[in-house]
Structure 1
């Protein structure tokens, strides 16, 4: 049995927030509170770093250097706010500083329901003539551009510069003669073929298409299946297109090279797994340092935790890049695990965002499951807890279909996160809880029934088919009457490695829920084998809903 509370105390109190990220620790202030937590850090503190530099699902990363500052963007799919922007001074230590979009653009209402695997796909970030550009695709709607003079500020309303389904993975490029181009790929799921890259001329302001697309590479003809995620650069008179191929988990990194932007292009594999344990080094970004050293950021798909970010040294031989540690007798490299840091920088205070829609909560990595409304939440309580208002669930949908789930990516191979739930303001018909969301999902739910609060676990699985999403869901009661204050400890544990179809071994994690009434004595109440979502890693989160349209209930929670 869970330990009974010693008193009914409706005064909300913060709890210790502990988070384990690997074997390295860092004490820091969080939300201006004396809350200690332990985080995964790549920086070893001795002038070296250990990959990944970000153990977090920042899928499809692209990055640039502007002066002494580095900025990174990543896919956000259906989660909002979207298009996260991270900042670093040394390519190893990163801070989340802003988001480009509050909600998924175009017809905002169409993304009020989660459209898992859709929305904002692989973006690119560039800087030209005092302006930052982020270009991103929505596979059913087109290619968009948003700009800002300050990456910490408000970004412009996205413009659909190339309407139409199927165009993905865009990257703009400003040539020496002032012309602007766009390299992009295509999605087989939308137009029937893939592995083909195109270059298209843009208008001088990069806000519309000027020319017709020119096919510059066809991986179907070269044996490089699933060529995608292109990035366009220029060096020593050569145009370079960096593009991964071979599939997300087992693939490799290609580089194409030509003296003419429209080709013909030579190709070479410049990075593959080799003898390392870093599978499928996938798409990313070439950046340099102020002193001229070259580096490459890329992601690795580790299944449940998603697509984590690595940093590799990069050199040139005969004007061809070699990424990572060069493989003896070959022209390509393999990923390094530990290496000398690119730069040593003095400590600094991160600049604050001036985007009024991006609160500290979002800068801690929390996002909604779909397009959101500000009225769903208050995060300015006196004790700095948050209040979630119980949204009316008219159709009694399956939990993954709910937009008002506040979610956070995993940020470590193993960790625990404790929520304190204040259930005292729930109304009849309200139901709230903590969820582990992936293709398989598990939630511990508290429902107000008459004068009691009933705890149960809901487990299920999503199956994506041509006819829609199928659900297989079940519910098990945990306790028929719980008090107003409940602690839920969410724990992620690595239990070894498992064989997978695409790669020999992959991490295997289990998620366990523990419940307590006093924050001291916990009992396990549910568990599930972790399974990634649709092109995204597992997320943890919290939600508040109601079957009662007239409810004014709310959940107060310390995250």
Structure 2
């Protein structure tokens, strides 16, 4: 009887242990099915922080937080505005689509957080520092030139280095206050970092991120052989100055560009991203083991679908979220999920003019949606997502156009035009690069409901647009938008709330809410 009881207990323990193991392997790649490219990641104690790229959006350089490497939430941005040049404010015919600030580098050293980026738009390298990465404030430092895809590294001897470049990688030493480069310290670090990936490169090695593990230096880069896929290259050295030896450490599904992160328990992962069509560049985690002093990425060289990490809980409300535009005293005007397309014009948007509504007032005449100011955006999410707004159009002026868009170079829109004393619900398709009004119907009431649905499943990359007169019964309008990720914008599609004037400035519209869902109608 006693032995039988022990066997039963042992069986229960085995089943329970097996259950725990199964539960722990619930995480799936991609860990974030949304546009979060060029990640840089650190761990401080048991907490992980990650920065990413949002280019022409303001505020910029988002910071995300996680306790488990899988479930991330937005907690801050490095800056409200990068600069106030015409290209960033959409003035005098200028814009900075696909430029703005690019790949960042996030570091923690002696109780201080350092977040650096670079911008073709300003021609500068920008470094932001804070003791509180979640609340700030940030101190901003900038200097010329703009060091492409750089990594900052604080070495054990107190020296601060910056490595950058494409193909040929170079290194400089920074001044102790990070205000610029020490003269006479620039050197070629690796003459041709692409060599391990082959002789014929479409994209030479770039995206540098440097790490020090067990006394050795490991420099991660991405390269793209012609006719091949994005590839992860690692160079290692005993000294930061080299010499470096390199090898390909991952070539699967085009998952590449990133670096290393370890857990408090001693597990290692590489954080990387994958180009995934119209939704953007999406983050993956790849397990890492060490062999002969080299990081070995993947499972038998492949990117696994499942990970020995906690399950993902979804991207809503941590990465994207609905908003009823109601604000309690002390709350920020806009939650972190929102970013402006370029710098906002603060005098012409408001949550105060009509409580519980987001108002955009036109300040000038524009010819296209892409030149309009105060367009408010947030990420679309995969594998599918829908955005819905309630819009009061009673304050529009002749020639105004307002509504909900999917923002990229080949954008799509559903909105209301005020024309010849009448209003029309219109669907516009700009997938060819030129906007074309596909269909319109008359609107005779002040409030209309608009919806955009995105289907990113298996890179289908299709969007459809709908309207409703009561918020309950929906009708499709226009045709299917075939979404395409384009380099001129270099960003996944975004839901966008807009209003612009084509004849007379001063009109306004009021958005009552924006709702996002991870389901679309079938």
2:168 pairs with 1:196:
yes
Change (3 A) 1:357 1:429: farther
Q: Secondary structure at the match of 2:86?
A: helix
Note the C-alpha offset of 1:442. 1.4
Gaps of 5+ in 1: 1-43, 186-193, 274-278, 328-332, 351-355, 463-470, 497-506
- Once residues 93 and 360 of structure 1 are traced to their aligned partners in structure 2, the CA distance between those partners, rounded to angstroms, is 25
* Number of the residue aligned with 1:246: 224
Q: 1:292 aligns with which of 266, 269, 282?
A: 266
Q: 2:41 aligns with which of 21, 38, 63?
A: 63
2:339 pairs with 1:367:
yes
* Number of the residue aligned with 1:52: 30
Q: Which has the larger radius of gyration?
A: 2
State the number of aligned residues: 465
* Number of the residue aligned with 1:528: 481
Note the C-alpha offset of 1:80. 0.8
2:407 pairs with 1:445:
no
Matches within 5 A, 1:386-535: 386-393=358-365, 396-461=366-431, 471-494=433-456, 496=458, 507-526=459-478, 527-534=480-487, 535=490
Matches within 5 A, 1:29-48: 46-48=24-26
- Once residues 484 and 102 of structure 1 are traced to their aligned partners in structure 2, the CA distance between those partners, rounded to angstroms, is 34
Conserved 8 A contact 1:432-1:555: no
2:126 pairs with 1:144:
yes
Note the C-alpha offset of 1:382. 7.6
- Once residues 460 and 225 of structure 2 are traced to their aligned partners in structure 1, the CA distance between those partners, rounded to angstroms, is 21
Change (3 A) 1:495 1:233: closer
Structure 1 window deviating more from structure 2 (194-203 vs 446-455): it is 446-455
CA deviation profile, 1:232-285 (whole Å, cap 9, x unmatched):
111222111011111699211111001121212100111220xxxxx2112113
Q: 1:324 aligns with which of 287, 295, 298?
A: 298
Q: Secondary structure at the match of 1:115?
A: coil
* Number of the residue aligned with 2:88: 111
Gaps of 5+ in 2: 1-21, 319-328, 515-522
- Once residues 296 and 522 of structure 1 are traced to their aligned partners in structure 2, the CA distance between those partners, rounded to angstroms, is 44
TM-score normalised according to structure 2 size = 0.83
Q: Secondary structure at the match of 2:240?
A: coil
Runs of at least 4 residues off by over 6 Å: none
* Number of the residue aligned with 1:341: 309
* Number of the residue aligned with 2:208: 230
Q: Secondary structure at the match of 2:460?
A: strand
- Once residues 220 and 266 of structure 1 are traced to their aligned partners in structure 2, the CA distance between those partners, rounded to angstroms, is 12
- Once residues 358 and 239 of structure 1 are traced to their aligned partners in structure 2, the CA distance between those partners, rounded to angstroms, is 44
TM-score normalised according to structure 1 size = 0.78
Conserved 8 A contact 2:361-2:499: yes
Note the C-alpha offset of 1:148. 0.8
2:115 pairs with 1:134:
yes
2:229 pairs with 1:256:
no
- Once residues 360 and 292 of structure 1 are traced to their aligned partners in structure 2, the CA distance between those partners, rounded to angstroms, is 41
Q: Secondary structure at the match of 2:381?
A: coil
2:286 pairs with 1:307:
no
Q: Secondary structure at the match of 2:512?
A: strand
- Once residues 554 and 121 of structure 1 are traced to their aligned partners in structure 2, the CA distance between those partners, rounded to angstroms, is 33
Note the C-alpha offset of 1:388. 2.1
Note the C-alpha offset of 1:209. 0.7
Note the C-alpha offset of 1:371. 1.1
- Once residues 467 and 225 of structure 2 are traced to their aligned partners in structure 1, the CA distance between those partners, rounded to angstroms, is 41
Note the C-alpha offset of 1:54. 0.9
- Once residues 503 and 23 of structure 2 are traced to their aligned partners in structure 1, the CA distance between those partners, rounded to angstroms, is 54
Change (3 A) 1:155 1:215: farther
- Once residues 514 and 343 of structure 1 are traced to their aligned partners in structure 2, the CA distance between those partners, rounded to angstroms, is 33
- Once residues 469 and 422 of structure 2 are traced to their aligned partners in structure 1, the CA distance between those partners, rounded to angstroms, is 15
